[in-house]
Structure formats: structure tokens, C-alpha cells
Structure 1
């Protein structure tokens, strides 16, 4: 299958491809999380936070990221609407009543048992870094497995995943696409480009069997070339 993962889903998709290489013929990583190693010196080390901030962070460390949504009960809908109005605005051109539907959808998803959040919390160290970064394992991926990497130029997620894959899989096919103007939600910020690159990944997977390895390898941009899309 062609397997696509976004954010934490990209980390899980890569782990799946490691465990079941015979089941994945093309891996698509959309603004994926958890690949680079945590920097030796973090921002907090350079600029120590006030004591009360560190105490609050320590007290909240055992909690899942969206605990406040569940703690708010029915008011969670209002909380989502107030804190993430940007998501509804992104859907508004394509979805009638997005300002009501999207916050409700997000609330109902996250008001349930937080299995995904718990998994993310268990895999994370510090603020947003993986305890076991995927960079240590990508060299074990099937060298014949092509990988498409997309990330938003304005995303908060570290954008070195494509470079790390190229360095650790120098003889494999890695296609890197930068979506200028997109944030972490690349599929929302630039849906037409996102769909275009997903379709290209599918076409590459379908074409591999009918072309020579050299022809396909020539399309790889692992030599430092990164395709960047212009902002619209």
C-alpha cells in the first residue's frame, strides 16, 4: 500500500514501514513529527525560564496536551472555538457553517478517551521532541522504499526530515517538497498542492514496476535539491 502519515501519524507510519516493509511500497510523510534528535542545548538552557513557569510546567507534565478540553466539560466547545478559530477559517471557503462544525468536530474527537494523546505524551520528551527519534532508525528502512516528504515553510515542526532521510539513505529515493506559506496543517493551508504531491507519489509508485531502477533513481532529489513551491 501507499501509506501517508501527518505529524505524529508520520512517525507511526515510518515505524510501521520498519516493522512491515513488505506491506508498504511508498511512504508519504506530511509535516511529520519525531525524526530529528533533540538539540543538546534547548532554548530553556540558553534563556532560563522564571521559577513559577518551571514549577507550572513540572506540575502539568503528567497531563495530556488537551486535558483542558475534557476538564471543561460542555464548555469545551467554546474553549476550542476561542483558542483555535484559525482552523474554522481555513475550512470556511469549502464548508458551509465551518465556524460551528469544525470546533464541534474537534471537541467531540478530543472529548473521548485520549488514546492518541496518551501515546504522543509517552513518546515525547521536553516540548515536542521524540524520546526515540526516528533518525536513529531510518537507515533500517528498506532501501527500495521511496519516500515523499512534504512540510510547510511556516510549520513549528522541525523541517530537516527530508535532509535526514537523504543523509541516512543515500542510495534510496527521497522526494522533498516545501509548501511555501503553509503551516503544520499542510493539507488545509495548501490543499491543491498537497493533493498534487500525493497524486504524484501515487503515480511514482504505480510507475516503478514499469521502469528501470535507474530511471526512477534519477528523479530522486537526495543530492540536496529541494522542490519549493511559490507562495500564492
Structure 2
């Protein structure tokens, strides 16, 4: 944890606006590591204080440091909050149940307790990947707290397709865009383990594994860091005792599918709750779920947008386009 703190501090040193980083203690004494970023030039004006805050929820295996390309830009006109999900990053690492409904509920309850502890009445809620799944679940349960829901390449929405028999060949085929090869390999090897077990099992070779297999992350931030800072950050986020990943494993089938697909529940969102979905045009997460979601609920309040030349990590692949898109969405709120 001390190495994670040191590496994260180097990343957060890039933030130009006012930064308040602290642990938010929940009623059960679990702690959520939280950043609040505000525009230092406008922090004393009533205009920014009155703006609905943007709350950002990271994806599986991530943490607040991965938003480093976005925090300054998005905090120009409103406060921005980012926190490490329970069981990830620097937040507390409690036991998670093996039941998918109970695991999801534990994540969502922690988000609501965090909101209460911070004192936010409502928020623009943005979630990436697993964070998008949990943000949607939260918005279904606490709709009065969400002014606008923003999903970024969300995980866990479509139902896992059943194998279909090709009548001409008699072979089973599943027609869908597949995840990258490394995702398939990890999913098959670790189907009986926690998803990040290989990192811990590698011991001192763990950081090298991250560097080798996730060079894409290093490239995404290479203009900010000319060393292994970001891949070291990812390693230290995930080399600790498994907690949030246990909850994720309980909720997932393989790495690509949810046991409780969110498309089965999106009709429970208030029809007039504004919902925006951003996909990377080159992502392994298909945007077809977004189109289906728009069909299920009120199209007038559901927007789907593709960000060109971006893969799953849209916010880091095309940070300027991502920040512009999110800022535009936020400005529709206030």
C-alpha cells in the first residue's frame, strides 16, 4: 500500500487545479479513497459551487490515478469527485460474498454511503466499464441522486449469447465481436481463480508482467511519464489481497459477461433520467448494447456516441474528445 501511495502521488502531482485527496469513512468504518478537484481560479465563485458535481467511477482493476488526463479539464466549471471503488486501489478491502446479487449490492451500498458521507445531494454520475455497470445499478436504486448518468464503454450489459448450431455444417457458432486475445487467454486460464491472481502469483516478476502485457497503458500516458509510472500504479493497485475482484468474479461469467445482465434491468431507470453512453469506436465492447438500451427506454433521453480512434479506455485513448463530450453532457445539466 505504501508503494501504491508513492506511485499515485507522482501521478496526482500532474494536477494543476486544486486537489483534496482523503479517505472518506463509511458508517461501517470502511474507507473510500477520494479525490475532489476544483478550479483554483473559480473556487471562490458561487457559480461553480452551485454546479452539479461530476462523480467518476473507474473500471475493473483501476483507480483514481487513471483519470489523470481528465480531472483538470472536467473540473474547470464544476467540482469533480473520483474515488477508488470498495475493494480496489487504496480503498478498504473487505470480504465480498460469492452471490452475484449480494456482491453487487455491497458495491452499490458503499457508493450510497460514500455519497451521504461526502454530503452530495445529487450528482452527474459517470462510470467506465465495471464502473458503468455499478453506476447504472446505483441509478436504478437511487434515481433522485442522479441528475445525468454517463456510461463509458460499460461492462456487463448484454446477455451472454447461447451457442447457435450452423445448420449447414452442424458446428456450433457464436456470432459476436470478441474481446482481445489477451482477455480470452486470461479468462480461460483464470476461470477457476480470482482474475488478478496471476499478478500476485508472479511475485517480484509481477511488474514486468504488467509492462509486457499492458504496454498500451504505458503508451497512453507516455507524454506525461517517460518511465513505468502508470504500469507500476496498475500493478500496485492489484497486487494486494483480493477483495473487489472477488466481488467482480461473483458477478461475472468469464471476464466479458455479467451473470445479471444490465440490459434486463435498464427499464427500471426513470424514463426521463438523461442517459449518455460513450463507446470507443475500436473497443472490444460492442456499442450494439447502447443501441438496444436506447430502444428499451425513452430515446429522447438516451444518447449513444462513438469516439473515433479510441478503444476500451476511451478517456485515455482520446482524452480531448472524451473531455469535450463529457463537458458538453454536463452543460446540459447546468
Q: Shorter-chain-normalised TM-score: which range? A: 0.7 to 0.9
C-alpha deviation, 1:72, in angstroms? 1.1
| Cα distance in 2 between the residues matched to 1:60 and 1:84 | 17
Which position in structure 1 is the counterpart of 2:38? none
1:109 pairs with one of 237, 244, 257: 237
| Cα distance in 2 between the residues matched to 1:108 and 1:6 | 20
Q: Flag the 1:57–1:6 CA change in 2: closer, same or farther, 3 A.
A: closer
Q: Flag the 1:193–1:171 CA change in 2: closer, same or farther, 3 A.
A: closer
Query: Do residues 17 (structure 1) and 139 (structure 2) align?
Result: yes
Which position in structure 2 is the counterpart of 1:224? none
Q: Flag the 1:78–1:128 CA change in 2: closer, same or farther, 3 A.
A: same
Query: Do residues 28 (structure 1) and 170 (structure 2) align?
Result: no
Which position in structure 1 is the counterpart of 2:173? 46
2:333 pairs with one of 197, 205, 216: 205
Residue-by-residue CA offset, 1:170-218 (whole Å, 9 max, x unaligned): 3550111101111000011110010011101111111xxxxxxxxxxxx
C-alpha deviation, 1:169, in angstroms? 0.5
Q: Is the 8 A contact 1:36 1:164 kept in 2?
A: no
Q: Flag the 1:16–1:172 CA change in 2: closer, same or farther, 3 A.
A: farther
SS of 1:118 mapped into structure 2:
helix
Query: Do residues 63 (structure 1) and 185 (structure 2) align?
Result: no
Which position in structure 1 is the counterpart of 2:225? 96
1:2 pairs with one of 96, 104, 124: 124
Q: Is the 8 A contact 2:147 2:274 kept in 1?
A: yes
| Cα distance in 1 between the residues matched to 2:172 and 2:244 | 29
| Cα distance in 1 between the residues matched to 2:189 and 2:310 | 33
Q: Gapped runs of 5+ residues in structure 1? A: 48-55, 207-232
SS of 1:75 mapped into structure 2:
helix
Q: Is the 8 A contact 1:154 1:180 kept in 2?
A: yes
Q: Which structure carries more relative contact order (alpha carbon 8 Å, separation 6+)? A: 1
2:319 pairs with one of 178, 182, 191: 191
Q: How many residues align?
A: 196
Q: Which has the higher strand share?
A: 2
Superposition map of 1:114-129 within 5 A: 114-129=242-257
Residue-by-residue CA offset, 1:79-107 (whole Å, 9 max, x unaligned): 111111111011002x133x310111011
C-alpha deviation, 1:45, in angstroms? 4.0
Which position in structure 2 is the counterpart of 1:158? 286
Residue-by-residue CA offset, 1:123-173 (whole Å, 9 max, x unaligned): 111451111101111011011210110001111112223212211113550
Root-mean-square deviation (Å): 2.2
Q: Is the 8 A contact 1:4 1:30 kept in 2?
A: yes
| Cα distance in 2 between the residues matched to 1:6 and 1:58 | 24
C-alpha deviation, 1:21, in angstroms? 0.7
Q: Flag the 1:12–1:75 CA change in 2: closer, same or farther, 3 A.
A: same
User: TM-score when scaled to structure 2?
Assistant: 0.55
Q: Which has the higher helix share?
A: 1
SS of 1:107 mapped into structure 2:
helix
Query: Do residues 86 (structure 1) and 216 (structure 2) align?
Result: yes
Q: Flag the 1:86–1:59 CA change in 2: closer, same or farther, 3 A.
A: closer
User: TM-score when scaled to structure 1?
Assistant: 0.78
| Cα distance in 2 between the residues matched to 1:138 and 1:42 | 26
